[in-house]
Structure 1
């Protein structure tokens, strides 16, 4: 597929975040015909509250919904916090799941990758993120998840790790509805 936009939701707000650096590397090394765009300002999303969603939606939520609506694919790049996904990512998915049944994430092919300084590489956060996105209406693409331990490898320079991350993006980009049947 050409001319594909992948919107990345980064699960860490820290300026020097390894997962933000992974997202930036994926953006900078995107395959030909693919634009990887990083959603900014997730920290400006208020906690999801249906009362806030009833009238004028907060500007940050409206902007994120618009970005996801325009994107062809969504990729979460996230660490793991206490065995699950970070609150900022969970909150973003909550906003994207509404209005119920027609939220911006509905029907979007979705994947998750990331790294953590643990032996498990964030696999629980990645599973929780995929489950939450699927319940929100996204189409979670098999074989996209990469849970990488950052304990004994420099994730940003190891050729094997970078190849697996790029392959995950390519799998997400190449996904077609026919595969879901």
Structure 2
């Protein structure tokens, strides 16, 4: 049985962000035969500009993201909510990975979205915007794998999500569903 490789994109660049810690916890839940890798470098990618997206001109950081997405079997996006929507860094990653139009690395790639915020809304607006952008980009959003965490400022103030049994169970279910969708896609 071959290894399923899932790439994790985190929408917060802050090293100690709770969203990053949720992504780290998700990595620990990978079942046998599944590897999750946190992508580093989203902050190095310039904003999408079609003038830069030409043969021989694509910035190295943007090409590295495209290559990593293309090499993965699926994506796990972990997003906070900034001013009621998706963080610019994550939207920018979606924009770069969706090009060239109709043939970008996101095309037909299974994706699950985890959202988390300090509000009780659980970053559901950001989650919805991520799902919309991914769908337009041609990704296959695995809706059953969706996960929303609210009140994270209090819930994870003194504990890492990897030490929260309920969070680990929920993240493991998300990772399992995404891995199953990726395996089904690979075997289709």
**Fold match by TM threshold 0.5:** yes
Q: Which residue of 2 aligns with 1:168?
A: 174
Give 1:2 deviation, angstroms.
Answer: 5.0
Q: Check the 8 A contact 1:4/1:34 in 2, yes or no.
A: yes
1:115-154 Cα shifts (integer Å, max 9, x gaps): 2111111111011101101110100112111110115523
In structure 1, C-alpha distance between the alignment counterparts of 2:140 and 2:130, rounded to whole Å: 12
- Paired residues, number: 178
- TM-score computed with the length of structure 2 as normaliser: 0.90
Q: Which residue of 1 aligns with 2:8?
A: 8
In structure 2, C-alpha distance between the alignment counterparts of 1:83 and 1:101, rounded to whole Å: 29
Unaligned runs of 5+ in 2: none
- TM-score computed with the length of structure 1 as normaliser: 0.93
Q: Please list every run of at least 4 consecutive aligned residues from structure 1 whose deviation after the TM superposition is greater than 2 angstroms.
A: 151-155
Higher helix share: 2
Q: Which residue of 1 aligns with 2:74?
A: 73
* Correspondences of 1:56-71 after superposition (within 5 Å): 56-71=57-72
Q: Check the 8 A contact 1:119/1:151 in 2, yes or no.
A: no
